[in-house]
Structure 1
Amino acid sequence: MEKTTIKWVETLTTIPSPTGNTYEIINYIKKYLETLGYETKVNHKGSLIVTVKGTNHEQHRFVTAHVDTLGAMVRGIKPDGRLKLDLVGGFKYNAIEGEYCQIQTTHGKTYSGTILMHQTSVHVYKDAGTAERNQENMEVRIDEKVRSKEETEKLGIQVGDFVSFDPRTEITKAGFIKSRHLDDKVSVAILLQLLTKLKKEQLSLPHTTHFFISNNEEIGYGGNSNINDKVVEYLAVDMGAMGDDQQTDEYSVSICVKDGSGPYHYELRKQLTELCEANQIPYQLDIYPYYGSDASAAMRAGADVKHALIGAGIDSSHAYERTHEESIVATEQLVEAYLFTKII
């Protein structure tokens, strides 16, 4: 039975992939695409590239989604055997308080744990509710019988081991998807679904298109390399940010006009809005003030392309996120409509 896009989201969120340790999920996607008959390439940084030859081989497109997520590393082992953390990606400690996690050792062993304040117990600590959520106060309680640094070290845990957060993925009857790491596994799911459709229905794209599954976006340099000289347009499919003063919602596709890196390409943005209007795809235009994308990274690296950013609306980004299937559908419809248009 073929996966739906929502089922792809569910599958991808269950595979740990914090930035810096994305080998398992990249290999999973690589093997799947090869079963469809695609030729794949993994670059030196670990990103996955699939090139689909189109009718026009002189003007190319480059489409990205990133599979890396927020996570952490072991910063140190405390005298009582618990772990200090160092964050990977742009988020705050309060966003992971109380979360279940996995510690993956260099030698391939995995241990479960919980991320907690050291001063969690209100029966012991007067400042349980007021102490700052920071590196000094937050720790990992390992689900093993350890009471000292030496006992934890005997498990094989050491500084630099990756810590991934339990996604707790849930699909509700009302059509909501609640999970960590919807940023940006929703977009990866959309690209996988479209690549599947291209093969199953033997569809031909008007332009040769490079699909790039990025693995370093959360730290600022995903999607900034391996851009063919013939690439004219660059589309980053990522998340739309929701909050005060934002237009983005969970029921439409968000088209970014500007983020922390500056404005996106005006003409390409207008083309995307026209596609939405022509195909009755619900959309919102928005500015993401504290945000950067794969397309931002490509521009900083000197790519001479028209760049754009779209995505499903994600509530509570970089925490326990949520979106609705309507937003995912709208985003997928826009990506598909865009892929089958000709470069102007």
Structure 2
Amino acid sequence: MSIFNEKETVQLLETLTNIASPSGFTTNIMNVMADMLTKIGVDFVRTNKGALIATVKGTNDERHRLLTAHTDTLGAMVKEVKPSGRLALSMIGGFRWNAVEGEYCTIHTARGEAIRGTILMHETSVHVYDGVGTLPRDEKHIEVRVDEKTTSAEQTRQLGIEVGDFVSFDNRFEYTKSGFVKSRHLDDKASTTLLLQLLKQIKEQQLILPYTTHFYISNNEEIGYGGNASVPEKTVEYIAVDMGAIGDGQQSDEYTVSICAKDSSGPYHYELTRQLVALANDNDIDYKLDIYPHYGSDASAAIRAGFDVRHALFGAGIESSHAYERTHVDSLRHTAALLHAYVLSPMIDELED
């Protein structure tokens, strides 16, 4: 039985990263997700906030599981139309302006047009400005150079651009011969891809799950509250499938599945986390156990909202998170394997019985 289809997974991931979806501008991608769920043949509901919750009935319908991933990404909004015709930005999500300096972008106007631009320092030209390399990369200096003939605020507004328009960053997806996937917004479209693939596998292979399991596709995680509402009342276990943080002092890497023991919200549920580790060991799944110092998830948001659930977090290791990200197909493979093992396993308290 095949657990991981590399070609199909990478193709789907590219499709999802190509769809602009900064937090607050997710209607299009959630409609695409709804179409995909319909094609798979799984029942789902849409929440008032625009999230999707697909449900697969299990043998036990009294105790439920929930897996979540999010489609929303980092992005920006037009803060000001400058006298020069260029645009000042307001950040959506937690990143640094240097991570998008020089990146191509799209301005999404209220009348439905997509206008191209480039994110630059106002003082980019070294032939004109002193100290370009030492100026702060912040909202005062970063702007969008609009790819239209405009030299004034009036001309830019005539294009339909206005304060409050969303700005998305180009993903620049690439899949290398060595197995690396490079793209913006792997956080968290890599996990969303894996949940869709798992749902497809469950339906095609007619897998019988031991518990009714919900697949919660959220759309506001990057701003802190994607999965903190509409959690089905019988949910006992809540798993956030999200990126593993890589850097100095971290164990996570691009080749294994990263299991989070603690992030900035505090420790994840100990026994559930240890069960994930045991499943990885029992199924020859390469993993790293880690702590993410500057991180929160939809699972921790649900805990803060007061849901009485056991919560855990795991996902593919993502290098250079919230910038131009990268992972390896091996990490996707091991994450998919842990997802598969988890949804077919008993709950930890039943193991103890």
Same fold (TM over 0.5): yes
Distance 1:193 1:311 in 2: 14
Distance 1:69 1:142 in 2: 22
- Where 2:148 maps in the other structure, the secondary structure is coil
Tell me if the contact between 2:6 and 2:329 (Cα under 8 Å) persists in the aligned partners: no
- Where 2:133 maps in the other structure, the secondary structure is coil
1:192 aligns with 2:196: yes
Counterpart of 2:351 in structure 1 is none
Query: Following superposition of structure 1 onto structure 2, how do residues 131-170 of structure 1 map, counting pairs within 5 Å?
Result: 131-170=135-174
Tell me if the contact between 1:61 and 1:231 (Cα under 8 Å) persists in the aligned partners: yes
1:178 aligns with 2:182: yes
Show structure 2 runs of 5+ residues with no match. Answer: 349-353
1:341 aligns with 2:341: no
Change (3 A) 1:91 1:277: same
Counterpart of 2:127 in structure 1 is 123
Q: Following TM superposition, by how much is the alpha carbon of 1:338 offset from its aligned partner in structure 2, in angstroms? A: 0.1
Counterpart of 2:292 in structure 1 is 288
Identity rate of aligned residues, in percent? 61
Letter in structure 1 aligned against 2:125: S
Tell me if the contact between 1:75 and 1:159 (Cα under 8 Å) persists in the aligned partners: yes
RMSD of the TM alignment (CA)? 1.1
Among candidates 241, 249, 256, match of residue 245 of structure 2: 241
Query: Following superposition of structure 1 onto structure 2, how do residues 224-235 of structure 1 map, counting pairs within 5 Å?
Result: 224-235=228-239
Distance 1:313 1:336 in 2: 18
Counterpart of 1:63 in structure 2 is 67
Tell me if the contact between 1:101 and 1:166 (Cα under 8 Å) persists in the aligned partners: yes
- Where 1:212 maps in the other structure, the secondary structure is strand
Counterpart of 2:108 in structure 1 is 104
Counterpart of 1:50 in structure 2 is 54
Counterpart of 1:257 in structure 2 is 261
Counterpart of 2:96 in structure 1 is 92
Distance 2:276 2:346 in 1: 12
Tell me if the contact between 1:59 and 1:343 (Cα under 8 Å) persists in the aligned partners: no
Tell me if the contact between 1:272 and 1:338 (Cα under 8 Å) persists in the aligned partners: yes
Distance 1:248 1:2 in 2: 21
- Where 1:73 maps in the other structure, the secondary structure is strand
Q: Following TM superposition, by how much is the alpha carbon of 1:80 offset from its aligned partner in structure 2, in angstroms? A: 0.7
Residues matched between the structures, number: 344
- Where 1:108 maps in the other structure, the secondary structure is coil
Distance 2:136 2:332 in 1: 36
Tell me if the contact between 1:261 and 1:296 (Cα under 8 Å) persists in the aligned partners: yes
1:310 aligns with 2:306: no
Counterpart of 2:19 in structure 1 is 15
- Where 1:4 maps in the other structure, the secondary structure is helix
- Where 1:129 maps in the other structure, the secondary structure is helix
Q: Following TM superposition, by how much is the alpha carbon of 1:3 offset from its aligned partner in structure 2, in angstroms? A: 6.4
Letter in structure 1 aligned against 2:190: V
Q: TM-score, normalised by structure 1?
A: 0.99
Q: Following TM superposition, by how much is the alpha carbon of 1:284 offset from its aligned partner in structure 2, in angstroms? A: 0.4
Distance 2:107 2:100 in 1: 15
Tell me if the contact between 2:68 and 2:227 (Cα under 8 Å) persists in the aligned partners: yes
Tell me if the contact between 1:71 and 1:165 (Cα under 8 Å) persists in the aligned partners: yes
Question: Cα deviation per residue 1:173-230 (whole Å; 9 max; x = unaligned)?
Answer: 0000000000000000000001111111122211001100010100000111111221
Q: TM-score, normalised by structure 2?
A: 0.96
Show structure 1 runs of 5+ residues with no match. Answer: none
Moved over 3 A (4+): none
Distance 1:37 1:259 in 2: 35
Counterpart of 2:276 in structure 1 is 272
Q: Following TM superposition, by how much is the alpha carbon of 1:264 offset from its aligned partner in structure 2, in angstroms? A: 0.3
